Chains A and B, each alone.
Chain A
């Protein structure tokens, strides 16, 4: 959107477009695509929470299993990592439920979330 050398007409149009876009963004936030339908968004959220929990536990278990296999401490590390994975899953669900972003570091994410509430994931 940088073409402004076609006369005042296009300049004006560009300015009005920018203003309209800014207004729309202020009204709807980033939810322009997400809110395609209530059913759709709810299903997406449900999927997300379920997958987050399962995947984190599976990855934790996998890491524990590999570490056990490597260090020869069967089965203790796997047991520990199942719980760590579950904790990571719950932490990620907390993140989703709170509408925080997906970046690593819960403390930083919640601080950012307080700064700008509009920037949901």
Chain B
């Protein structure tokens, strides 16, 4: 049986070392380029007609646009409009990463924690900067709830601070765990199909169901990642 975690191996396609730093073009990077190219092609080609009544491709692009647009409007409000390009790019990048990973023989870059962590950290740092820019030092008030007894401050403030700092980690780990678990499960089930011979029909049926579930998870996790970014952004802008 093939090693189920072999699929997450990073392989340099074009070895490249600049100043002692390994900057090789890997299979992960290739999939990222493919995903960005696909997203760009999909969005630009589908709306080229600019029809008032959209065709098939244009309505697909509009579905994504409206989906993210509504998400921002519901969670951040009208002030979130100017962050639309960033949130939309984030959503499409994660979504296409998840979906392209389900294509056989491809690679899932969202199954690598450092990729997700890079995205999450960008959001986290950006949101923190936005919060401080809009509220100044008043932003720190967020870590201590109004009306709580002042004696609880030494415990409450570190707890809220840890909870705040754990955001990029939990964002990254959640996407990573969901993607990795799904792909390992698919691989292990695939191994059973071959190993069991005629009885392999059973794991094969299960495998088909799991594949459908995996598509659902790919969509759901892209949605969760983006909506949490929206919630964090809302926190920084409105502070409640």
Stretch at the interface among B3-11, B85-93, B95-103, B223-231: B223-231
- Number of B positions contacting A (CB below 8 A): 36
Residues of B within 8 A of A87 (CB): 155, 159
Contact bitstring B118-161, A, C-beta under 8 A = 1, else 0: 00000000000000000000000011011110000001001110
Q: Does B74 contact A (CB under 8 A)?
A: yes
Nearest-neighbour CB distance to chain A for B205, whole angstroms, equals 16
Q: How large is the interface on A (under 10, 10 to 19, 20 to 34, 35 or more residues)?
A: 35 or more
Nearest-neighbour CB distance to chain B for A92, whole angstroms, equals 6
A63–B161 alpha-carbon span in the complex (Å): 10
Main secondary structure of the interface of B (DSSP, over half): helix
Question: Which of these, B147, B220, B232, contacts A40 with CB under 8 Å?
Answer: B220
A43–B177 alpha-carbon span in the complex (Å): 12
Q: Does B54 contact A (CB under 8 A)?
A: no
Main secondary structure of the interface of A (DSSP, over half): helix
A44–B228 alpha-carbon span in the complex (Å): 14
- CB of A59 within 8 A of CB of B165, answer yes
- CB of A84 within 8 A of CB of B162, answer yes
Question: Which of these, B148, B163, B165, B231, contacts A92 with CB under 8 Å?
Answer: B163
Q: Does B44 contact A (CB under 8 A)?
A: no
The 4 closest A-B pairs by CB, nearest first: A107-B145, A59-B166, A88-B162, A88-B163
